[in-house]
Amino acid sequence: MQPDRTRRAIAALRSFVETPLSDLLDARAVANAPDALLALFHDVAASVPAYRAFLEAQRVDPAAVRTPDDLATLPLVTKDGYVRRYPLAERCRGGTLSGSDFVAVSSGSTGEPTLWPRSLSDELVVATRFEQVFHDAFEADRRRTLAVVCFPLGTWVGGMFTASCLRHLALKGYPITTVTPGNNRAEILRAVRALAASFEQTVLLGYPPFLKDVVDAGLADGLRWSEHHVKLVLAGEVFSEEWRGLMAERAGLARPLHDAASLYGTADAGVLGNETPLSVCIRRFLAQRADAARALFGEARLPTLVQYDPSARWLEEHDGTLVISADGGAPLVRYHLDDTGGVVPYGVMIARLRDLGLDAEAEVRRAGARGVRPLPFAYVFGRAHFAVSYYGANVFPETVSLALEQPETRDWVTGKFVIEVKEDAARDRRLDVAVELAPGAEARADRVSALEDAIVSVLLRLDSEFASYVPPERQRLHVSLWPAGHPEYFPPGVKHRYARK
């Protein structure tokens, strides 16, 4: 028995259940976030053997870190230099896993899967992000809601963590009932048919391309999604506003600012931020204004744009990438996520948008948004190594995806593809894009040509490196069309990767 851990868990759960969302996102806690981060640093330096050894190796004296400003001088923690260097138990408080009651596994999308210990307290921090979406966007505090977890289950972090957070919301009094078919498409459709009619709304939670497969399969099977007032919770990758619009059309999403919300998270620290009606409003505006997007983010392509609570997860920008500090089973201080992106304070974002012609706060209030909260913004392009380099130009999957979401192409593709650079017999390099066909769609020459034209057009419009670096005679790429679920590029049941190197 571990009575101390039990008492802490009960206290944490009681606090979460009894505290309204507005108090969990209290402005004073946000203002005090730098001091909370300083306290976290000193606690981790004193109680986590691996971090103490890491600081000693870097010749850092914790006692010399006296103010929040001093934290910026601390060395970054990385996966290779810290996570893989020190044993798992040594990265936990007291050098033991006994403080955690759950272990999750990362997706392994960048290499060897990694183990991450969790406790109930860690889940409750993340549950607040789910609560913000379910309360502010979906109004699930007053609507009977069926939540269908479509993330893979098992040891992988997404499905089990999501299901746990939804149960915590139900304990808090939200009329949410959760079903967990995982990424089994037939079971998802069976659950929706059997249960959705008993609820006022149905929320599908999963990776974007998989949820599109689910919606398309349901439509093909005669399922009328619009009758179930569908909402979407998405995670794992950047998607375009054209994709959001396509899903709204096919799943019957009636409120564009409210009915689909993306989470930004990592296996390392859980969910870090979430889309809000405000951030979706901003992103929809920027989708029509490449010049405005470039002025805000330095690039014309759209990142995921979320708001985050710095009192729970502290985000920093470092050389165009994101750094996170977060408590947890294996706490992290200034951990380099390797995600390209940055942070923008709330007031700065609102002021810049007004200069660009958008009063975002007024816009979302007109749309009936609840809880316009003055939380800072984080923008995330994804991981730079998911791009491919072609003649020195980075070609990003989210740019290519736009071509597949155009009206002239979207009906006969699933939205999945793989980009890679190949060499021909003469050792000339060529950009190749393997595209998955929708079930029943034919691989025709005119479709290949249409996709090649569409992809090049999007790249020339939005990727300045491609337009400037790639010789005109090499800008023409090669598209191949593959049947749905083909094991060469699109094996079912695994997290899809959009780039090969």
Q: What is the pLDDT of residues 11-63, one digit of tens each?
A: 888 999 999 998 888 777 778 899 999 999 999 999 999 999 999 999 999 99
Averaged pLDDT score across all residues of the chain = 89
pLDDT score at 494: 65
Cβ atoms of 324 and 339 closer than 8 Å: no
Cβ atoms of 118 and 100 closer than 8 Å: yes
pLDDT score at 384: 57
What lies within 8 Å, CB to CB, of 426 at 6+ separation is none
Cβ atoms of 49 and 95 closer than 8 Å: yes
pLDDT score at 25: 84
Check whether 475 has a pLDDT greater than 70. Answer: yes
Q: What tokens does 118 get?
A: 């969790």
Check whether 445 has a pLDDT greater than 70. Answer: yes
Give the highest mean pLDDT range of 109-123, 245-259, 484-498: 245-259
Q: Which residue has the tokens 């006692």?
A: 63
Cβ atoms of 315 and 323 closer than 8 Å: yes
pLDDT score at 107: 53
Mean predicted confidence (pLDDT) in 433-449: 93
pLDDT score at 110: 43
Crossing angle of helices 157-171/120-132, nearest 10°?
A: 80
Dihedral sign for Cα atoms in the order 472, 473, 476, 477: negative
Mean predicted confidence (pLDDT) in 100-121: 73
Long-range contacts of 79-88 (CB under 8 A, 24+ apart): 79/114, 79/336, 79/338, 81/54, 82/50, 82/51, 82/54, 82/335, 83/114, 83/268, 85/50, 86/49, 86/50, 86/53, 86/54, 87/50, 88/115, 88/117, 88/330
Q: What's the CA gap between 165 and 127, in Å, rounded?
A: 5
- Nearest CA to 290 out of 282, 301, 304, 280 is that of 301
- Nearest CA to 251 out of 271, 279, 223, 285 is that of 223
Check whether 192 has a pLDDT greater than 70. Answer: yes
Cβ atoms of 267 and 255 closer than 8 Å: no
Mean predicted confidence (pLDDT) in 387-403: 81
CA distances (Å), 321 to each of 176, 317, 334, 411, in order? 36, 6, 12, 36
CA geometry: angle 264, 15, 22, nearest 5 deg: 60
94: left (phi over 0), alpha (psi -120 to 50) or beta: left
Mean predicted confidence (pLDDT) in 1-6: 71
Give the highest mean pLDDT range of 79-93, 396-410, 484-498: 79-93
Q: What tokens does 51 get?
A: 């971090």
Residues, the chain, total? 501
**What domains does the chain contain, in order, with CATH numbers?**
1-272 (3.40.50.12780), 388-482 (3.30.300.30)
Go through 75-87 and write b for each residue having 16 or more CB atoms within 10 A of its CB, e for each that does not. Answer: bbbebeebbeebe
99 SS3 class: helix
Cβ atoms of 121 and 9 closer than 8 Å: yes
CA geometry: angle 292, 296, 299, nearest 5 deg: 80
Mean predicted confidence (pLDDT) in 464-490: 87
Q: Looking at per-residue confidence, does 391 or 220 come out higher?
A: 220
463 SS3 class: coil
Q: What's the CA gap between 16 and 128, in Å, rounded?
A: 8
Question: For the chain, what percent of residues have pLDDT higher than 70?
Answer: 95
Pairing of strands 260-266, 270-274: antiparallel
Check whether 365 has a pLDDT greater than 70. Answer: yes
Check whether 331 has a pLDDT greater than 90. Answer: yes
What lies within 8 Å, CB to CB, of 116 at 6+ separation is 103, 104, 105, 106, 157, 267, 268, 328, 329, 330
- Nearest CA to 181 out of 148, 142, 224 is that of 148
Mean predicted confidence (pLDDT) in 311-338: 93
Check whether 111 has a pLDDT greater than 50. Answer: no
pLDDT score at 383: 66
Go through 322-333 and write b for each residue having 16 or more CB atoms within 10 A of its CB, e for each that does not. Answer: bbbbbbbbbbbb
Check whether 450 has a pLDDT greater than 50. Answer: yes
User: How many contiguous H segments (helices) and E segments (strands) does the chain have?
Assistant: 17, 18
Q: What tokens does 127 get?
A: 């549950």
Q: What tokens does 383 get?
A: 């991981």
pLDDT score at 109: 44
Mean predicted confidence (pLDDT) in 70-79: 94
Q: Looking at per-residue confidence, does 489 or 105 come out higher?
A: 489
Check whether 427 has a pLDDT greater than 80. Answer: no
Phi, psi of 10 (to 5 degrees): -65, -40
Mean predicted confidence (pLDDT) in 118-133: 93
pTM over 0.85: no
Q: What tokens does 319 get?
A: 């050389």
Cβ atoms of 395 and 459 closer than 8 Å: yes
> What is the per-residue DSSP string for 429-444?
EEEEEEEEEPTT----
pLDDT score at 1: 53
pLDDT score at 425: 63
Q: Looking at per-residue confidence, does 207 or 342 come out higher?
A: 342
Q: What tokens does 190 get?
A: 């069976």
